[in-house]
Structure 1
Amino acid sequence: MSLHLTLVRHGATDWNGAGRWQGWTDTPLGAVGEAQARRLAARLAGRTYDAVYSSDLVRAARTAELGVPGAAIRVDDRLRELRFGKYEGAGTDDVLHDPDYHDWQRDPWNLPAPGGGESLAGVAARLHAWAQDLPDGRVIAFSHGAAIRALLCVLFDWPTLPVPGYVLPFPYVLAHTGLTHLTRTGGRWTLVTYNDHAHLEE
């Protein structure tokens, strides 16, 4: 037996469009995100899952509700986004003159975001614990951009590298409602697809 796990980033919010860092701030999907989730539903139509999980933040839970209509959604706060601490609601331009920001950016994998935030290592640890708890079967889970990429860094030893003009050290993009499919067999994880967002293409 194997686990077939599909990870989905939530649809876009108005804060995403404005370049504001959301973290644990419970922002709803915007009109664009609602449309993305409905396109995702058309893409997933006919697929069946043994379990549907979501972060407890409304932008992820609403994407799950629209993306897998009628499913019983199991909410798990371990699937939450990185907590940005005092930078929740800010954008990069807002904090460029803050010394605490530059100190954090020296090593955001290991250093917590200032003002009660998290490190990416901490995010990866809680998502990894969640994933390790999953039984075999077909599972889909709705989470967040930094959280999903942090998990993949742990599972597959992906590098974290500074990206000019971007707060997170991930040199790879994850689209809203992008699908990432993994399998786990005998304790070994395999990446099947990353950031499949064909349902968003015109």
Structure 2
Amino acid sequence: MGPLTVYLVRHAPTAGNLERRYIGVTDEPLCPEGQKRVAETCLDIPPADVVYTSGMVRTVQTASVLFPQAEQVAVPDLHEMDFGTFEGRTADEMADDAAYREWVDGWCLGRCPQGEDRAGFVARVCKGFDALAEDAHRRGLSQVAAVVHGGTIMALLSSYAEPAKDYYDWHASWCHGYVCACERVGGAWRMVVEREL
């Protein structure tokens, strides 16, 4: 499999995002502010023939505006973390929730009740990236765009990126992200982050 340039872009915000709610598996559309933000976004990237999304409506809507001519391909394993019983709630609303406090005090690494833990989430996202790369290779593409979630970007880059950084160091703002030169080395990906978007 040859080198692949990937333009990783975080979707525009939803109402729940702006209210600082844990929005993982909730399939919210973009809110008016999110629609405005993506419409005003100007990314320094070439047009894409194919754009990958998680299939969740917020990624599909963002991709449709940023890459209107591109074919969209959904890769469900690239969806955001499943926050379980924390889903749809804010940190303030859970200030007295013992399970939430335990999760936060453990650096958000443990399993969310009825949801995912960090390790399982990262493994799923990496599996999704494998599927994306295999599809791009099958199509003979050397560059693609991926409009995904903030957590998805952090999971991928904390696993594969050079220079190496911690999970939260790879935070991306709405409608922004990173340009990565990706290459399979042995059994793992090597992603050289060329610049921010």
Band of TM-score, shorter chain: 0.7 to 0.9
> Equivalents in 1 of 2:67, 2:88: separation in Å?
29
How far off its partner does 1:34 sit? Answer: 0.9
> Equivalents in 2 of 1:176, 1:149: separation in Å?
13
Partner residue in 2 for 1:163: none
Please state if 1:139 is matched with 2:144.
Answer: yes
> Equivalents in 2 of 1:34, 1:44: separation in Å?
19
Query: Structure 1: which 5+ runs fail to align?
Result: 161-169, 197-202
Partner residue in 1 for 2:74: 75
> Equivalents in 2 of 1:31, 1:89: separation in Å?
19
Identity of aligned residues (%): 27
| Paired residues, number | 182
Please state if 1:65 is matched with 2:64.
Answer: yes
How far off its partner does 1:27 sit? Answer: 0.9
Query: Structure 2: which 5+ runs fail to align?
Result: none
Residue 179 of structure 2: which of 178, 181, 185 is its match? Answer: 181
Residue identity in the other structure for 1:85: G
How far off its partner does 1:108 sit? Answer: 2.2
> Equivalents in 2 of 1:65, 1:103: separation in Å?
39
> Equivalents in 1 of 2:124, 2:29: separation in Å?
23
Query: Contact 1:81 / 1:144 at 8 angstroms: preserved in 2?
Result: yes
Query: After superposition, what is the alpha-carbon deviation per residue over 1:74-118, rounded to whole angstroms, capped at 9, x for unaligned?
Result: 011111011110111100001111111122221423x2111x111
Residue 156 of structure 2: which of 151, 154, 158 is its match? Answer: 151
Distance 1:172 1:142, change over 3 A: closer
**SS across alignment from 2:179:** strand
Using structure 1 for the length normalisation, give the TM-score.
0.82
Partner residue in 2 for 1:199: none
**Cα RMSD over matched residues?**
1.9
How far off its partner does 1:24 sit? Answer: 0.5
Which residues in structure 2 correspond to 1:47-62 (within 5 Å)?
A: 47-62=46-61
> Equivalents in 2 of 1:153, 1:130: separation in Å?
15
Residue identity in the other structure for 2:151: A
Query: Contact 1:50 / 1:137 at 8 angstroms: preserved in 2?
Result: no
Distance 1:186 1:28, change over 3 A: closer
How far off its partner does 1:186 sit? Answer: 5.0
Partner residue in 2 for 1:108: 108
Using structure 2 for the length normalisation, give the TM-score.
0.84
Query: Contact 2:158 / 2:170 at 8 angstroms: preserved in 1?
Result: no
How far off its partner does 1:72 sit? Answer: 1.4
Partner residue in 2 for 1:27: 28
Query: Contact 1:15 / 1:21 at 8 angstroms: preserved in 2?
Result: yes
> Equivalents in 2 of 1:67, 1:61: separation in Å?
10
